[in-house]
Amino acid sequence: MWGCLVALVGLFFLVRWYRERQVVSQLQDKYVFITGCDSGFGNLLARQLDMRGLRVLAACLTEKGAKQLRRQTSDRAETVILDVTQTESITAAAQWVKECVEDRGLWGLVNNAGILGYLVSNQWLTKQDFVDVLNVNLLGMIEVTLSLLPLVRKARGRVVNISSVMGRVAMFGGGYSISKYGLEAFSDSLRRELLPFDVKVAMIEPGFFQTNLVDKERLACSIEEAWDHASPEVKELYGLEFLEVYQKLPEEFKPPVRQDLSLVTDCMEHALTARHPRTRYSPGWDAKFFYLPLSYMPTCLVDAMVSWLGPKPAKAL
CATH code of the domain covering residue 48? 3.40.50.720
Is 203 a domain residue?
yes
Q: What is the reported pLDDT for 184?
A: 97
Is 99 a domain residue?
yes
Whole-structure pTM value: 0.91
What type of residue is 110? V
Is 11 a domain residue?
no
pLDDT digits (tens, 9 = 90+) for 9-32: 776 667 777 676 788 888 999 999
Read off the pLDDT of each residue in 196-224 and give the average, rounded to a whole number.
Answer: 84
- Judged by DSSP in three states, 296 sits in helix
Q: What is the reported pLDDT for 255?
A: 46
Please name every residue paired with 161 in a beta bridge, in sequence order, or none if there are none: 111, 203
User: Which residues constitute the domain of residue 158?
Assistant: 24-213+256-308
Q: What is the reported pLDDT for 252?
A: 58
The total number of structural domains that make up the chain: 1
In angstroms, rounded to a whole number, what is the distance separating the alpha carbons of residues 162 and 22? 23
In angstroms, rounded to a whole number, what is the distance separating the alpha carbons of residues 285 and 291? 9
Please name every residue paired with 58 in a beta bridge, in sequence order, or none if there are none: 34, 79
Read off the pLDDT of each residue in 146-169 and give the average, rounded to a whole number.
Answer: 96
Q: What is the reported pLDDT for 251?
A: 63
Three-class secondary structure assignment of 4-17: HHHHHHHHHHHHHH
Q: What is the reported pLDDT for 152?
A: 98
Is 152 a domain residue?
yes
pLDDT digits (tens, 9 = 90+) for 238-265: 888 888 877 776 665 554 555 789 999 9
The set of catalytic residues is 176
